[in-house]
Structure 1
Amino acid sequence: MGGMTRKTVKRVAGVRKPEVRLPPLAVYEGPGLDPDGDYDGLEFTDLDLAGQDGAGARFLDCAVRGCALDETRLRSARFVDSVLEGVRGVGTDLAGAQLRDVEFGVARLGGTQLHGAVLERVWVRGGKIDYLNLRTAELRDVLFEGCVLSEPDFGGATLERVEFRDCVVTGADFGRAKLKDVDLRTAQRLDIVRGVDALAGAVISTGQLLDLASVFAAQLGVRVED
């Protein structure tokens, strides 16, 4: 082996998943959400929260199951050690929200606003989310698993230890995003329409590289002809 150097393979740091262990919960029986409300150890089940204003509210050790969140205002809300299961809605406003140790299960959302939000140890599994706005958001230890993300916008966002496992990702925008230890290899489908130049810090598979070849060529100004 004289004169030969060993190639060092840099591994992708794995995502640290949340471990949410909810205590016994009390059923929420209030009239609705309140701005800056304080909700601790409560279960919201099959409620119509559409159009309500919970901006700045704090949810600790809570479960939100099967609730309608159409145009629900949760701007700058905080979710800690909580579960959101089967929630649905269009235009849910979570801009500037903080989510830490949160599990999203089988959500059906459209046009959700999470720009400027902070997501730390968040697990999004199953479901379908259309037009997810995560511009300038901070994502650390976030796992998207088995879900469909249609036209997600990560423009200007910071992603660290983020994985898209068994996901279908179409029309993604990574323009001006900053990526570190982002694993895209196991996505079932990966379609990026903008921001391939920001993929430094991500890892993709050989097959994905071939699929994205035309996008890379366009970004470099290379014309491909037969």
Structure 2
Amino acid sequence: MARKATTTTAARRPELRLPEPAPFEAAGLEPDGDYDGLLLRGLDLAGQDAPGARFMDCLVEECALDETGLQHARLIDTRLTGVRGVGTDLADASLRDVEVCDARMGGVQLHGAVLERVVVRGGKIDYLNLRKARLRDVVFEGVVLAEPDFGGASLERVEFVDCSLKGADFTGVRMKDVDLRRCGELEIARGVDRLSGATISPAQLMDLAPVFAAAIGVRVEG
């Protein structure tokens, strides 16, 4: 009996059709603030504290987000372009139908967050914390991810396309339909034994062979 061919299900991408935004005119962000159909451009939001805020149909462009507190925030049908910052706190946030383009960030806290139909395109993010997060229909495209932490996270229909994944931690991860084949650079620091549910290319298999061998205790000698 012939074996049934299996394929990796592709991620569903967001389809943003944003209305013409109104300018953001408030003095700053507020806890539990409700922001609908707004353009936030070139603002210094560093250090502001807005847990529980909701952003819907918003454009966030060229804003500084250093240590901005957005725990439990909700981002829906929103695009962030050229944002920058270190220590942005989005712990336990919810992102649905969101695009993040050309971000330059470090130490972003997304642990416990829920990401659904999200595209992260271009730019560089160092030390991204996605521990125990839930990612479904998420695409990382053309972005450099340095030492991202996916520890204990759930990844379903997640794609890495033309991006650089350096020193990734997949400890305790659960994967389903995760596509790593088009990842330009794939370096796994921990959790290679959790790749069940992922698809890699033959070339990547060869590159990862020493890591696989070390994970199962195989000694390779000439």
What TM-score comes out, normalization by structure 2 length?
Answer: 0.99
Partner of 1:195: 191
2:211 aligned residue (207, 210, 215): 215
Partner of 1:69: 65
For residue 182 of structure 1, what is the amino acid of its counterpart? V
2 CA distance for matches of 1:200 and 1:6? 23
Q: Secondary structure of 1:212's match?
A: helix
Partner of 2:42: 46
Structure 1: any 5+ residue segments left out of the alignment?
none
Structure 2: any 5+ residue segments left out of the alignment?
none
Q: Structure 1 residue 85 and structure 2 residue 81: aligned? A: yes
Cα deviation for residue 118 of structure 1 reads 0.1
For residue 40 of structure 2, what is the amino acid of its counterpart? F
> Runs (4+) of structure 1 moved beyond 4 Å?
none
2:173 aligned residue (161, 177, 180): 177
For residue 18 of structure 1, what is the amino acid of its counterpart? P
Q: Secondary structure of 1:93's match?
A: coil
Residue correspondence of structure 1 range 16-165 to structure 2 within 5 A? 16-165=12-161
1 CA distance for matches of 2:220 and 2:71? 46
2 CA distance for matches of 1:45 and 1:198? 40
2 CA distance for matches of 1:9 and 1:208? 21
Q: Secondary structure of 2:215's match?
A: helix
Cα deviation for residue 105 of structure 1 reads 0.4
For residue 102 of structure 1, what is the amino acid of its counterpart? V
1 CA distance for matches of 2:219 and 2:174? 27
Q: Secondary structure of 1:223's match?
A: coil
What TM-score comes out, normalization by structure 1 length?
Answer: 0.97
For residue 71 of structure 2, what is the amino acid of its counterpart? R
- Larger Rg: 1 or 2? 1
**Per-residue Cα deviation, 1:108-155 (whole angstroms, up to 9, x for no partner):** 010000000000000000000000000000000000000000000000
Cα deviation for residue 24 of structure 1 reads 1.0
Identity %: 65
For residue 167 of structure 1, what is the amino acid of its counterpart? C
2 CA distance for matches of 1:9 and 1:155? 30
2 CA distance for matches of 1:225 and 1:147? 36
1 CA distance for matches of 2:189 and 2:210? 11
Cα deviation for residue 7 of structure 1 reads 2.5
Q: Secondary structure of 1:176's match?
A: coil
**Per-residue Cα deviation, 1:31-70 (whole angstroms, up to 9, x for no partner):** 0000000000001000000000111100010010000000
Q: Secondary structure of 2:60's match?
A: strand
1 CA distance for matches of 2:45 and 2:59? 14
Count residues with an aligned counterpart: 222
